[in-house]
Amino acid sequence: MAPDDAHSPSGPSSPSAPRPSAPSSPSASSAPSASGAPSVSSPPSASSVPSAGPPGPGESRTGRKPLGSRLWLLLAATLSSNATDGFVFFATPLLALTLTKDPVQIAAVTAIAQFVPAVLGLLVGDWADRYDRRLLMALAAGLRAVVVAALTALVITGTLTMPMLYALVAVFTVGELTFDVNASASVPDVVGTGGELERAHGMIGAGQQVMQGFIVGPLAPIVFVVAAPLPFGLGAVLAAAACVLVVVLRARLRSDGATRRPATPTSMEPEPAEPEPDTSPRGMLEGFREVRRNIPLRNILIVWLSLGVLFMFGQGSFAYYLVEYLGMSELALSLLLVALGIGGLIGSLIAGRLTERFRRRTVLSWGIVLSGLGLFVLGLAPAGGMALVVGSAGALVAGLGSGVWNVVAVAARQRMVPRDLLGRVSGFVTTVFSLVVPFATMASGWVTRMEPRMPWLIAGGLTFVLIAVMRPLLAPVDEVGHGGTSPRPS
C-alpha cells in the first residue's frame, strides 16, 4: 500500500515491497511521486494541449493518441522483469529456511534488499541521466539473468550457503534497482508528457498488480514446493526475455528517430544543443538540488514521503496481525492479498480516466483518503470468521486508493522534472525512502507488541489528518497540466 515510483505492488510487504523502485518508480516505481492544483474548473484535456513531441505513425492530432507499439514493448519488458523480481523475492525466504532456522539470518536477506537502494540510489539515478536508459535496462536484465541462473545451479548442486545467498541477493538487487529506475524514467521518453502519461503508467501499474498479485505471488511458493530450483530457473528465463525485449525497444526508438530525452516543444524553432550532463561526483547530488530548488516538486515529495512512512508503519507487522492476532489461515491471508491486488488493479486502470474528468489534486486527495480508510478498516477487523470479510474489504479499498495515487503522482512528478534529471531525482527519492522504511517498519513492530491493532488505526487516522493539512501542497499538479515540465522556482 505504500506509494511507489517504480510501479511495484502496493500491498502489504512482500520481501521486495519496501524497495521503491522507480521511483520507479517510482519505480519506484516506481517508484516515488508528485502532484498539485490551481482554482480552475477542470484540467485541460489531452486533445486541447500540445503533446511532447511530433505525432508518430498512427497518431491523430486531435483526441486520444494511441499509445503505440513502443509502450507495449516497454510494458512487456517491465512485466517480465517484475515477474523475475516476484519469483526471486517470494521464493528466497523459503530457500533461506532450507539453509538455516536462525530468524536473524533469514531477516538479513530482506535487509540486504532494502539496504542496496539506500546506498546506491543516487548513483543509479545518475547513471540513468548520463547514459542510454534502454542500454542500462538491457545490461541490468542480463546481469540478473546470469545471477539467478547461478543461484539455480547452486540450488541444484546443493552447494549454496547463506553467505553466497547474501552476495547473490545483493547483486540481483543492484540489477533490479537499475532496471526499475531506468524503466520508470523511460515512460516519458516513449509516450511524451501529455495526457497519455497517466494512461501509460496506469497500464504498467495494472500489469504489475496482475503479475505479482495474481500470478507470481500465489505461484512462487507452489513452484518452490514442487522443486526448489524451479522458481529461480523461471526467473532467469524471464530476466533474459526482459533483456531481449529492451534491446528490441531500443532498436525501435532509434529507427523511429526518437531521442533518449525528447524535448517538450514550445516553439517551431530548432532545439538548442543539450549541455553535457555533470559527470563529476557532485552530479549525483543534482537530484537533491533539483528537489531543493523546485518548490512544487519538493511539496509533492513531502506528501509522498509522509504517506510512505504512514503506510509502512501501518502494515509493518501485517503477517503477525492477520495470522496470529486475528486468527486467519494462510489460505484466508492469500484471499485477502488477492482483494488488495484487485483494488490496486482497478485503481491503476481508472486513474487516467479520472484525471480527464476531475482535477488531479482532487483525484490524488481521494486516492489518499481511500488508502487511509482501507488501513483503518483493516485495524477494526474482528477476530475469527469475519476477519477475512472485513479485512478483505479494507484491503480492496486501500488497494484502490493506492493504485490511483501512485499512477497520478508518478505522472505528475515526471512532468515537473526536466527530462535529463528524471533519473537523478528518482534515485534521490529512492534513497530517502529506503533509509526511512526500516525505521517505520521497526516502529510498527514495537507498537504491535503493545496492541496489534494500533499501527493500522494510527496510520489510517493520521492519513486523514495529513490530507487535511497538506492538501494545499498538491496544487502544482494542475498548474503543470499536460504540457510538460514546470519551471524551476527558486
- pLDDT tens digits along 277-320: 454 456 667 778 888 888 888 888 888 888 888 988 888 777 77
* Alpha-carbon distances, residue 42 vs 49, 199, 270, 359, 412 (angstroms): 13, 18, 33, 6, 16
What CA–CA distance (Å, rounded) separates 385 from 379? 16
Task: Provide the residue ranges of all domains of the chain, joining segments of one domain with +.
Answer: 66-262+279-480
Query: What are the tens digits of pLDDT across the range 217-238?
Result: 778 878 888 899 999 999 999 9
> Does the pLDDT of residue 60 top 50, yes or no?
no
Residue 274 above 80 pLDDT?
A: no
Please provide the average confidence, as pLDDT, over all residues in the chain: 76
Query: What is the structure's pLDDT at 57?
Result: 43
pLDDT given at position 121: 83
13 vs 287, which has greater pLDDT?
A: 287
pLDDT at 258 over 60: no
- State yes or no: pLDDT of 18 exceeds 70: no
Q: How many CB atoms lie within 10 A of CB 58?
A: 9
Tell me if 409 sits within 8 A of 349, measured CB to CB.
no
For 417-453, the pLDDT digits (tens) are: 887 787 788 788 888 888 887 778 778 888 888 898 9
**What is the residue whose three cell numbers read 512462487?**
220
What Å distances lie between residue 242 and 21, 132, 217, CA to CA? Answer: 17, 16, 19
Amino acid at site 225: V
First to last CA, the chain: 33
To which residue does cell 512487456 refer?
Answer: 76
Q: What is the DSSP letter of 453?
A: T
Tell me the three state secondary structure of residue 27.
strand
Q: Return the CATH architecture of domain 66-262+279-480.
A: Up-down Bundle (1.20)
CA dihedral 371, 375, 378, 380 (to 10 degrees): -120
3-state percent breakdown (helix, strand, coil) of the chain, nearest 5: 70, 0, 30
Q: How much is the pTM?
A: 0.64
d(CA 267, CA 277): 24
| Secondary structure (3-state) at 25 | strand
Q: Residue 132: count other Cβ atoms within 10 Å of its Cβ.
A: 16
Q: Is residue 241 predicted with pLDDT exceeding 90? A: yes
Q: What are 239's strand-pairing partners?
A: none
pLDDT score of 265: 39
409 and 355 Cβ atoms separated by less than 8 Å? no
Distances (CA, A) of 371 to 5, 10, 289, 407: 16, 11, 31, 14
